[in-house]
Amino acid sequence: MNLHEHQAKALLAGYDVRVPRGEPVESVGEAVAAASRLGYPVVVKAQIHAGGRGKAGGVRLARNEAAVREAAEAILGHVLVTKQTGPEGRLVRRLLIEEGVDIARELYVSLIVDRSSGRPMIIASAAGGMDIEEVAIETPEKIQTVLVDPAVGLQPFQARRLAFGLGLKGPAFGNGVSFLLALYRAFDGLDASQVEINPMLVTGDGEVLALDAKLSVDDSALFRQRKVAALRDIREESPLEVEADRHHLNYIKLDGSVGCMVNGAGLAMATMDIVKLAGAEPANFLDVGGGASADQIENAFRILSSDSSVRIVLINIFGGILRCDRLAEGLIAAVRKLGLRLPIVIRMEGTNVEVARRMLADSGMDFTPADGMKDAADKVVAKLRAA
């Protein structure tokens, strides 16, 4: 689950990560009031679940009331298009009004879970600010990484090594070390899957602050992160993913045209792989669950077919808990009810598979049976090419 910058900063501050003073607002009037409480200059920042706002005009410095009003009017209620939003952009419904901070240096730090070592990894660079992606590509030697043993957490010597590598000196060194230690505690305590501070700011007085904050929390931990879960802003999420979540379906929208409906996450991954291998692109990851009911099948179908980029549906089901004949019944009912016109390729195995095949064949609907996964993927590609 992703959070807004102002929410991330409030959560991080709870772990003693230093952040500028600021207030979230939803109207121009509130923006002006917040600015006068904070004192000028302030920065007016669009709150959307995407970065790259600065370069797109979504972060503006304001030195007086007229400038705050003008910036808030220009951003709030408008669609902001950044490098990360895609061409459709995002509607800005909220702003963060923040004290304007005196910038001496802009550094970069982030924490992720490194999959190959299975440990939290800190990534830091002295070349922070708005162009970190270019730094990673052109001068990767400017990026340092440190793996953390989760049993003991980030050690002070590791934080000092990072701070030294970032070129911090004098009071900024000690502040940087404290900042990194606090940031790790926040990452750990919030069950985050990612925290990115860009820029990690050094002021003229050697203070170290999170000037920007991106925070993602592991969905599987939300049951024990109630405070975080309550901050969810579903308006920022893909509507189909929200709908799928309501029905307890594991659904992730992707860019291709093959709608996949599969039971079990492992089978779903394997299905996506074989679709790609055959030369097509999956439109989604969808795991209807090992014990999916006919209802779940219908919900899944509705979600798949409301994605306009889906041109064909591939069903790959192992009928264990959900018997194949019940699946076939559910499929036929769902296709009829939804008036679905998409071609459907089905591969299934398991209990009562023969009965199920006959039911599908007798339904008079456009189901193409497949024999094994490879055959299913090849049939999908052949049908796509023929269309």
Q: Which residues bind Mg ion (CB under 5 A)?
A: 198, 212
Could you tell me the two tokens for 20? Answer: 């500028």
In this complex, which beta carbon is closest to ligand ADP, that of residue 84 or of residue 306?
Answer: 84
Q: Which residue has the tokens 């979504």?
A: 58
211 binds, among ligand ADP, Mg ion, none (CB under 5 to 8 A by kind): ligand ADP
| In the complex, minimum distance from the CB of residue 55 to ligand ADP, in angstroms, rounded to a whole number | 6
In this complex, which beta carbon is closest to ligand ADP, that of residue 58 or of residue 259?
Answer: 58
24 binds, among Mg ion, ligand ADP, none (CB under 5 to 8 A by kind): none
Residue 199: cis peptide before it, omega within 30 degrees of 0: yes
Residue-wise DSSP of 134-171: HHHHH-GGGEEEEE--TTT-S-HHHHHHHHHHTT--TH
| In the complex, minimum distance from the CB of residue 118 to Mg ion, in angstroms, rounded to a whole number | 28
If DSSP codes are grouped into helix, strand and coil, which group holds residue 249?
A: coil
| In the complex, minimum distance from the CB of residue 15 to ligand ADP, in angstroms, rounded to a whole number | 19
In this complex, which beta carbon is closest to Mg ion, that of residue 23 or of residue 212?
Answer: 212
| In the complex, minimum distance from the CB of residue 130 to ligand ADP, in angstroms, rounded to a whole number | 5
CA distance 216 to 7: 11
In this complex, which beta carbon is closest to Mg ion, that of residue 193 or of residue 198?
Answer: 198
In this complex, which beta carbon is closest to ligand ADP, that of residue 183 or of residue 370?
Answer: 183
Terminal alpha carbon distance of the chain? 38
Q: Which residue has the tokens 């800005």?
A: 92
| In the complex, minimum distance from the CB of residue 199 to Mg ion, in angstroms, rounded to a whole number | 6
153 binds ligand ADP (CB under 6 A): no
Phi, psi angle pair for 313, to nearest 5° = -115, 135
CA distance 29 to 168: 40
Task: Spell 257-289 as b/e; 16+ CB within 10 A means b.
Answer: bbbbbbbbeebbeebbebbeebebebbbbbbbb
CA distances from 35 to 4, 200, 348 (A): 20, 23, 61
- In sequence order, the 6+-apart residues with CB closer than 8 A to the CB of 199 are 103, 106, 107, 108, 128, 129, 211, 212
100 binds ligand ADP (CB under 6 A): yes
In this complex, which beta carbon is closest to ligand ADP, that of residue 49 or of residue 347?
Answer: 49
Residue nearest Mg ion by beta-carbon distance: 212
Q: Which of 5, 98, 106, 108 is catalytic?
A: 108
Query: Minimal CA–CA distance to 286: which of 317, 249, 330, 328?
Result: 249
Residue 322 near residue 263 (C-beta atoms within 8 A): yes
CA distance 344 to 331: 10
By CB under 6 A, what part of segment 23-52 binds ligand ADP? 43, 45, 51-52
52 binds, among Mg ion, ligand ADP, none (CB under 5 to 8 A by kind): ligand ADP
Residues in the interface with ligand ADP (CB under 6 A) total 19
| In the complex, minimum distance from the CB of residue 91 to ligand ADP, in angstroms, rounded to a whole number | 16
CA distance 5 to 253: 24
Q: Which residue has the tokens 């993927």?
A: 377
Q: Which helix (H) or strand (E) holds 319?
A: strand 312-319
Active site includes 108?
yes
136 binds ligand ADP (CB under 6 A): no
By CB under 6 A, what part of segment 160-179 binds ligand ADP? none
In this complex, which beta carbon is closest to ligand ADP, that of residue 54 or of residue 153?
Answer: 54
Active site includes 23?
no
| In the complex, minimum distance from the CB of residue 100 to ligand ADP, in angstroms, rounded to a whole number | 4
| In the complex, minimum distance from the CB of residue 102 to ligand ADP, in angstroms, rounded to a whole number | 8
101 binds ligand ADP (CB under 6 A): yes
101 binds, among Mg ion, ligand ADP, none (CB under 5 to 8 A by kind): ligand ADP
Among 24, 120, 176, 199, binds ligand ADP (CB under 6 A): 199
Query: Minimal CA–CA distance to 128: which of 148, 144, 113?
Result: 144
Q: Which of 23, 98, 196, 329 is catalytic?
A: 196
196 binds ligand ADP (CB under 6 A): no
Q: Just list the catalytic residues.
A: 108, 196
Residues that bind ligand ADP (CB under 6 A): 20, 43, 45, 51-54, 59, 98, 100-101, 103, 106, 129-130, 198-199, 211-212
